[in-house]
Amino acid sequence: MEVEYYKQKFNTDNDLSNSVIISKYRSAADIVNVILPQIISRIVPGASVSELCKYGDQLIFSHTSKVYNKTKVEKGVALPTMICVNHCLQYFSPLPENDVILQHGDLVKVELGVHIDGYTASAAHTTILNPNPQQPIEGRSADAVAAAHFGAEVALRLLKAGNKGSDIVKAVNQVAEAFKCVTVEGSIVQQIRRYVLQAENFAILNQNDGFPDGDFMINSNEVYTVNILMSTGNGLIRESDLKPTIYQRNINEVYNLKLKAARTVFKKITDNYSVFPFSLNSLENTRDRLGIPECVTHGLLRPYYALLENTGQAVVTQFKFTALVGTNGNATRITSSLQLPYVYSELSIPPETDIAKLLASDVKSAKVKSI
């Protein structure tokens, strides 16, 4: 009886025919669509990555505090603001002691996520600090930007009921080949649900992972994030030697913490971040960090190590979006596509190919709202 109740609640909580659920997804996306450009506008030579990440999280809490206030609703950070420079890929939100100061020529990836009542939207964008903005960036950086951008656009067009995840895997890798790039470990088409950033259906785009190639059917009434990372190297990654600054609660583990600092910080994490990842950067009281080690030791928190391109030499780019596959089976992109950096690639997708024809087709994107 109890299992049947939770099954019904699970289905109800994730029913996209419910206008309230759609509204919460889109409200989260509206906030992402406002905040991401604000952060990107501050990506200039001399800017502090640590300060920018902190600023992004503050914006998320500021905007979410203004919506859905008639009833008590959890809301806030679904993914902390992460800013990865050059060959750094993901999960980088440095504390001041490990800060990175941006310079001309840096290739910068920004990723963040917002949730309203557990309904999440996340996005990522790549920009380049061009020392001569009147001239396009050329060479391998341009190739990687084009590969990731068109890879994401192809994935969006194939994200519809009746297609398979493996269709997206094949098409995105064809785009990578056209620009002489490879998909990076961590590139993924991932189904999401309420309070769940990684649901049962997923397609790993880099087959070095050894995971299944996405042999699942996309259905109507589902939500997906598409995270495309492209590299001019071999696509392999490694963990940074830096101590992690991003953590997530492990809801499957229970332990009575001994240290007062650990109990205090764990309560704050539970109250402010629910089940979602957070950055140490956003803990206002630096003393709270003293309680993190005990939480990690006993499995209450799971660390996310910053990820780096394996060789440290390749160019890595990233574009990510969230889309709803509605009851009609078609996908609507709810996180907006931002202006690309000014690049010129000598490579292109041959116009006679199926990929080029697919890219020429129309897709539906939600209108960007001012909030």
**pLDDT for the residue numbered 278:** 97
Beta carbons within 10 angstroms of residue 91's beta carbon: 23
Distance CA 335, CA 329 (A): 18
Cβ-contact 314, 235 below 8 angstroms: no
How high is the pLDDT of residue 83?
98
Spell out, as residue ranges, where the chain has pLDDT lower than 50: 1-3, 5-6
Residue 3: per-residue pLDDT: 46
Please spell the DSSP secondary structure of 287-328, one letter per residue: GGGGGHHHHHHTTSEEEE--EEESSS-S-EEEEEEEEEE-TT
Q: What is the pLDDT of residue 213?
A: 62
For residue range 56-107, list pLDDT tens digits in order.
Answer: 999 999 999 999 999 889 999 999 999 999 999 999 999 999 999 999 999 9
E-assigned strands of 168-275? 182-183, 188-192, 202-204, 222-231, 237-239, 246-249
Contact 238, 310 (CB under 8 A): yes
List pLDDT tens digits, range 234-278.
Answer: 889 999 999 999 999 999 999 999 999 999 999 999 999 999 999
Strand partners, 279: 246
What is the rounded CA–CA span in Å between residue 34 and residue 46? 23
Question: What per-residue confidence (pLDDT) applies to 362?
Answer: 85
Separation in Å, CA 220 to CA 17, 24, 190: 10, 18, 15
Looking at residue 221, what is its pLDDT? 93
Of the candidates 148, 167, 146, the residue with the CA atom closest to the CA atom of residue 158: 167
Rounded CA-CA distance 262/246 in Å is 16
- pLDDT score of 366: 72
Helix (H) or strand (E) holding 51: helix 49-64
